[in-house]
Structure 1
Amino acid sequence: MFIHKIDNDLSLKLVDLGDAPRIFELTDNSRDHLKEWLPWLDYTTELKDTEDFIKAGRGNYAEGKTLNAAILYNGEIVGIGGFNNINPANKTAYIGYWLGQDYQGKGIMTRVAHALTDYALTELKLNKVEIRAAVGNAKSRSIPERLGYVEEGTIRRAELLYGQYVDHVVYGMLAEEWQGK
């Protein structure tokens, strides 16, 4: 079981089926807020959808392909953070995250992204971590920028988001760059 303490009030833990009711409740209560930048909200309409997400994620974690972790803030699940993809052959990982709307502005996600970056580059011994965010998603883009990630470029029409394509900005952090921070 993956459990990673970040600091006194923040930690990550591998999601399990027992977390499904809280994660679905958080998703449902933050639906309008999250829908602006996340395309999966229309496919998460009942508890079973969250349970299916957790089951798939646990299977992928067992195969070393992903890591979906619950973000625990003062012991309460407030979002999800982890690696949407881990590529052992290329020694890369792609961080993804979302946070319930009531927990924004507390520095939670910056600390989570820092911890995930450090875990990937020091514990997993990967060479590179990427964070991708829609060009217009200023809050999400500010996280890798605060952490010193390098803006590597823009992928045009990277994601279909509710009938419209959005471009993604790609941020990267190399292991040797992280060691110097």
Structure 2
Amino acid sequence: MASHDFPIALPQGSALSNAIISLEQELLESSQRHSQAQLERRLHPRFAEVGASGRTYDREAIIAQLAQEPARDAGSLTVESPVAIQLADQLVLLRWRLLSGSPSERSSLWIHEQGRWQLLFHQGTAAARPLSPAGPKEAEPADAEFSVRWLRLSDADAVFEAFSSNPDMKRQGDADSPQKAESYVRALLEAGDRQQALAIAYRDRLVGLVCGTVDPENQNAWVWYWMNQNYRGRSLATRAVATLADYLFDELGLYRLELGLRANNPGSKHVAESNGFLHEGVERGKFLVAGERIDVHTYARLRTDRGSAVTPLPWGTQR
């Protein structure tokens, strides 16, 4: 793979991704953490760590620290929500979560030298709010630090981060490298009024996108949206679609909004129906996903239809 292709998100289930995640998991096991020989094999000679407390450690200091750690039951610590990003031929960044004890966000840098992968750098950051394991969860109301604003070219890094957060983001477009993410954002911006693209932002950083692709001749728009995996399940897309719908109807004077969703996507169905979109039909077997034909449900909302009870996300200062 040419150097200019990096960084690139590794697909979940790929051999390299699985290998790095397994190595990280091994370092959470007491049998590994209490073994000086194993730690010296797995930790690079120039290893460094910044702990969740802010303390820094070198290789010798962390080995001594772990020797004093109480023994734990096997499997009590696990690598949660891992995302592997290959930075170079012999360098992989693993972002993951530790949910046991004091929940934290983790970043590990693995380098391949002397015929094996070794941990070069590790950092832990205390989670801002309690974390729950990946999977279905009830939607939480978004707090006042979430808003919508117009998409900016400087959002490209956050778009790449979002497309790296879950393999299902591949269906949203081609942005699995920083360069592709910049091209993705630039294409939306250069489309002008045809693409009404709003960033869903947390403290002004993009964590999702909602967009209306406008057909001005017919006063219609196709609505679509996606969220960074780490911010799903909080009703943010639902509320952002409400904001966009109000703008498209009230400010642009459009008459009809349309959207489509896969039959196996209940989250997107909730977004549509909560915002007053009515089911209009089924496109049978439209998508081929992992060898399976998936129906697509079509929805629409007219300006004359009954509105929704969804509270729109507020506009940020960058409107």
The residue type paired with residue 297 of structure 2 is V
Unaligned ranges ≥5, structure 2: 1-142, 310-319
Which residue among 126, 143, 151 is the counterpart of 1:15?
151
- Match of 1:96, SS state, is strand
- Match of 1:44, SS state, is coil
Q: 1:102 matched to which residue of 2? A: 230
Distance in 2 (CA, whole Å) between partners of 1:72 and 1:51 is: 18
Distance in 1 (CA, whole Å) between partners of 2:292 and 2:217 is: 33
Distance in 2 (CA, whole Å) between partners of 1:56 and 1:161 is: 26
Q: 1:58 matched to which residue of 2? A: 189
Task: Give the TM-score normalised by structure 2.
Answer: 0.48
- 1:93-172 matches, within 5 Å, as 93-161=221-289, 164-172=292-300
- Match of 2:194, SS state, is coil
Distance in 1 (CA, whole Å) between partners of 2:289 and 2:308 is: 37
Identity of aligned residues (%): 27
Distance in 1 (CA, whole Å) between partners of 2:145 and 2:186 is: 27
Tell me the alpha carbon deviations over residues 119-144 of structure 1, each in whole angstroms, 9 at most, x when there is no partner.
Answer: 11111110011121011111111111
Rate the CA distance shift 1:59–1:160 in 2: closer, same or farther, 3 A.
farther
Does the CA-based 8 Å contact 1:71-1:81 persist in structure 2? yes
Task: Give the TM-score normalised by structure 1.
Answer: 0.82
Does the CA-based 8 Å contact 2:151-2:198 persist in structure 1? yes
Distance in 1 (CA, whole Å) between partners of 2:262 and 2:292 is: 12
Tell me the alpha carbon deviations over residues 13-52 of structure 1, each in whole angstroms, 9 at most, x when there is no partner.
Answer: 2322211112212221x123535xx253xx3331110111
The residue type paired with residue 261 of structure 2 is A
Residue 164 of structure 1: how far off its partner (Å): 4.7
Distance in 2 (CA, whole Å) between partners of 1:25 and 1:33 is: 13
Which residue among 73, 77, 81 is the counterpart of 2:210?
81
Rate the CA distance shift 1:161–1:92 in 2: closer, same or farther, 3 A.
farther
Structure with more of its chain in helix, by fraction: 1
Tell me the alpha carbon deviations over residues 79-116 of structure 1, each in whole angstroms, 9 at most, x when there is no partner.
Answer: 11111x21011111111111111111211111001111
Structure 1 vs Structure 2 CA RMSD: 2.2
Does the CA-based 8 Å contact 1:33-1:101 persist in structure 2? no
Q: 1:46 matched to which residue of 2? A: 177
Q: Is 2:166 the counterpart of 1:31?
A: yes
Distance in 1 (CA, whole Å) between partners of 2:289 and 2:220 is: 25
Rate the CA distance shift 1:44–1:118 in 2: closer, same or farther, 3 A.
same
